[in-house]
Structure 1
Amino acid sequence: MPESRIPSRRGLLLGSAAVSAGALLTACTSNEPKNQAAPSAAGNAPVADDKPGKPVTIGFAGPQADHGWLNAINQNARDRAKKYADVTLEITEGSNDTAAQIGQIQTLINKKVDVLVILPADGKALTQVGLQAMAAGIPVVNLDRVFASPQAYRCWIGGDNYGMGLNAGRYIGEQLKGKPDAKVVELAGLDNLELTKQRSQGFDDALKNYPNITKVARQAAEFTVESGQAKMAQLLQAQPRFDALWNHDDDQGVGALRAIAQAGRKDFLMVGGAGARSAMDAIKADDGVLKATVLYPPTMAASAIDLARALGQGKGIGGMAELEIPSSVTLYSAVVTKDNVGDYLPTGFN
């Protein structure tokens, strides 16, 4: 699952929909615009739109798509690139081996692509190759898992892990605020990932606003169906009564729901995470414990293609006064419930 930085990354909030092609601002590999005439006002800056412009070759390198969310990342990138007649997408096979991914990115650098979009398997380990691309004059859009140095990318775009936990906690808090001595449990992801710590911290901070609620148990799973089922079974056995469950990841949530069904438990509400189509379908049906999911939208990959296209064309977007695209873009973790699930179903991933 993705790993991103927190508070400093949350300055610019976007919804779960991809950044439109008409929303990107003029930019280059540094913060100084080049090869463009100075506009008389910000509103006169060149603006990227759906009309064909300068051809741009975008290299896309991500980790192995061994998870529903990661597969959706690749698909969003491909689909967005197909929208533009002026974009050629060079996409790598994807690997969770850092040496292999570095080699793939170096191949794209040697091909002299115009822009790189990189979702690193390990941000720290791949920082050097990001620096190498920037030094070669190829602007880098760093997707989600952040490089260790801001010099390794021109723009970062990703999700808000702290905000994900915060919004899950707020939703649960509002559902249980009238219930005395309410109890909640948490099914987290991999504890060795910073993103898991951020999600848990956000959840805990939200619950501080609801003194009637106590978190009585937390179990870490591994973002897989199998681990979700096994760890949820342990939680259910250890906790004969609780009122709400927050599960960090909808993929492992499939296993959690199996364990819940096998135990015959219907006495609590469940909130998922990420925005899988299966979770949204269950929320829409409203016939089980799953009542909401907090988005970590894979549409960020489509937005990254928009940003890369604007960088390659030296253009920008409407809707902002600045001539440059921002250095970071953090997506908003919307809560999907039965009341708004119809709006988000098209973004659900398998």
Structure 2
Amino acid sequence: MARTDLPALAALGRRRFLLGGAAIGAGAVLAGCTGNEPESTSEGQAAAPAGDNAETGRAVTIGFSAPAADHGWMAAITDNAESRAEQFEDVTLEATEGTNDPSAQIAAVETLLNGGIDALVILPFDGNALTEIGRRATDQGIPVINLDRVFSTPLAYRTYIGGDNYGMGVAAGNFIGQQLRDAGVSNPIIGEIAGIDALPLTQDRSRGFREALATFGFQVGPRQAAEFTVESGESVTANLLQAAPRLDALWNHDDDQGIGVLAAIDNAGRDEFIMVGGAGSANAMELIQSGDSVLKATVTYPPTMAGDAVSLARLVAQGRGMSDLVEPSIPSSIVVASGTVTADNVEEYLPLGFRS
């Protein structure tokens, strides 16, 4: 996942498409065509790229490995990768069975490498633990597209693509800060339900949230870390609510664990505060759209990046670059912007939402 020491990104600019009506996404850059906004399927997968990049090239086999699809966002990652591969006549995708055991994932990737793939797309369960296998693939001349959870060294991948974890925190903090300022709330109590604290992504999200709130003169109040699961979300939220008899706002890092967070809120009979979610599930967007929930916004972390990773792997394996860019090769890193979904723009984002 995104980290603070990634190489500086080249400014991609505003190209032909505005993904979801917000800042440009990686998929729009990959498209390189001249039409209007890309169509989306009911599964939240952006339509296949058009233009030069989409022209059939040399047939390539792309290996794909990711953690177990044990919650909505991760399931959408795998679905997006498979859906994008199916849209290219020159791509064969060899996907391993998802696992949350680093040793098992290493073994699965070794099988892919031994099978003769042309490129590897990998979302490591643990970036540090999987770095060695990324280095091994790179040393064998197999380009690696490191998806979401980043390896510990750029020597292990050709290109990194992931979401903007720091930007998620900033977006959530800005929304909450502005809402409270507009409501004239002074000295607000702002809670936070984080993900797994040991992961760099959680640290980046929390830092962005804290620093954005500081620009309003606010600070984070009670904070609990969960585990990106419904059960942990419900448990830690129940504890936080019990310890905080009053809240003005709450940010939950992940819409999957948000199901448990909202259940705890309902069980406690609390509705005096506003809540912001994270990742952009369709479930969360529908609650925002209904207006009948404390959930008033969610900040996106789009799983469509997995489809973009497959497109990048295809181009690298075929020795091609992005048709929209002057440079002949693809960038070394791409960060997909985080959008803020509210009742005002939820209809634009809903087709790209994933199911928790």
TM-score normalised by length of structure 1:
0.88
Aligned mates of 1:147, 1:192 — CA distance in 2: 15
Aligned mates of 2:52, 2:318 — CA distance in 1: 8
What is the match of residue 59 of structure 1?
63
Once the two structures are overlaid, the 10-residue window that deviates more, 287-296 or 236-245, is 236-245
Q: Which amino acid aligns with 1:218?
A: R
Structure 1 contact 21–49 (Cα < 8 Å) conserved: yes
Task: Work out which of the residue numbers 241, 250, 253 in structure 2 matches 1:245.
Answer: 250
Task: Work out which of the residue numbers 191, 214, 217 in structure 2 matches 1:208.
Answer: 214
What is the match of residue 276 of structure 1?
281
Alpha-carbon distance, 1:128 to partner: 1.4
2:350 aligned counterpart, secondary structure: helix
What is the match of residue 30 of structure 1?
none
What is the match of residue 330 of structure 1?
335
Task: Work out which of the residue numbers 189, 192, 197 in structure 2 matches 1:186.
Answer: 192
What is the match of residue 6 of structure 1?
4
1:157 aligned counterpart, secondary structure: strand
Task: Give RMSD over aligned pairs.
Answer: 1.8
Residues 19-72 of structure 1: CA deviation (Å, up to 9, x unaligned): 454349xxxxxxxxxxxxxxxxxxxxxx84223221111110111112211111
Larger RCO (CA within 8 A; separation ≥ 6)? 1
Unpaired runs of 5+ residues, structure 2, are: 13-22, 34-50
Alpha-carbon distance, 1:218 to partner: 0.7
Aligned mates of 1:23, 1:130 — CA distance in 2: 29
Q: Which amino acid aligns with 1:155?
A: T
Aligned mates of 1:234, 1:314 — CA distance in 2: 53
Task: Work out which of the residue numbers 293, 296, 304 in structure 2 matches 1:291.
Answer: 296
Aligned mates of 2:32, 2:4 — CA distance in 1: 24
Alpha-carbon distance, 1:198 to partner: 1.3
What is the match of residue 320 of structure 1?
325
Task: Work out which of the residue numbers 24, 27, 30 in structure 2 matches 1:18.
Answer: 27
Tell me whether 1:164 sits opposite 2:168 in the alignment: yes
What is the match of residue 129 of structure 1?
133
The share of aligned pairs that are identical, in percent, is: 54
Aligned mates of 1:58, 1:8 — CA distance in 2: 25
Unpaired runs of 5+ residues, structure 1, are: 25-46
Structure 1 contact 165–199 (Cα < 8 Å) conserved: yes
Once the two structures are overlaid, the 10-residue window that deviates more, 223-232 or 299-308, is 223-232
1:11 aligned counterpart, secondary structure: coil
Tell me whether 1:100 sits opposite 2:104 in the alignment: yes
Structure 1 contact 191–220 (Cα < 8 Å) conserved: yes
1:182 aligned counterpart, secondary structure: coil
Q: Which has the larger radius of gyration?
A: 1
Aligned residues: 325
Cα gap change, 1:23/1:117 in structure 2, threshold over 3 Å: closer, same or farther? farther
